[in-house]
Homo-oligomer: A and B are copies of this chain.
Amino acid sequence: MKLFSYWRSQATYRVRIALAIKGLDAELTTLDLLKGDQFAQHYRALNPEMVVPTLIDGDHPPLTQSLAILEFLEEQYPDPPLLPSEPYGRARVRAIAQVVAMDAHPFIVPRVRKYLEQELKLDEATRTKWLTHWLETGTRAVEGMLAHEPRTGRFCHGDRPTIADLCLVAHLTSAQMLCGVKPDAYPTAARIFTTCMQLDAFAKTHPRKQPDAPAAA
């Protein structure tokens, strides 16, 4: 497999963790989203939305959208599982993943930050406030779903990592890298983050460990 990646992309980090947990190797091709590598004609042919990640699996059509890729990996490589087997648990795990992926992450991606700066002419302080607000809103919502919930265990759902943990860790990593925000005010999320980061699959795929991460990142 081949993965088109950008070191700081939250969505790509989710996929890197899933590949690592499932013991799958993917050759990395890095794109610099700030320089606009994603708009090149050859990449656009793979990913008409011109975003990362894109996963190429042999001669099959390109796979796009990180959560769709996670579901694909789960279906094709079910062991170890990243979703529980029980239907209400699966729904809960997907919902937690989607709270950060759909209701927080969209607001911090490069194309939105560009719109805030170039179209709305917002100054840096106002832009940082925007990023912090939506990242924080997402963390607060997830904490509300995790705290005082008997189904929360060492991880978001029980005692093994699921796609909820992948998304939560990638989200909290973005919050820390972009705004210096630590999850201290959200004890359950913070505890699970620490637990996850002790696992190689989360630690070794960290944005700062990527070949395209700047030395001072």
Contacts and interface: CB of A to CB of B under 8 A. Distances in A.
A111 B130 CA distance: 13
Contacts of A92: 61, 68
B72 A87 contact: yes
Contacts of A106: 102-103, 106-107
Nearest to A72: B91
Interface string A138-163: 00010011000001000000000000
A41 to B, nearest CB: 13
Interface in A83-126: 87-88, 90-92, 94-95, 97-99, 101-103, 105-107, 111-112, 115, 119-120, 122, 126
6 contacts: A49-B145, A51-B103, A68-B95, A68-B98, A102-B105, A120-B126
Nearest to A57: B88
A98 B39 CA distance: 20
Contact of A65 (B49, B64, B95): B95
Contacts of A137: 111
Nearest to A51: B103
Contacts of A133: 115, 119
Contacts of A103: 49, 51, 106
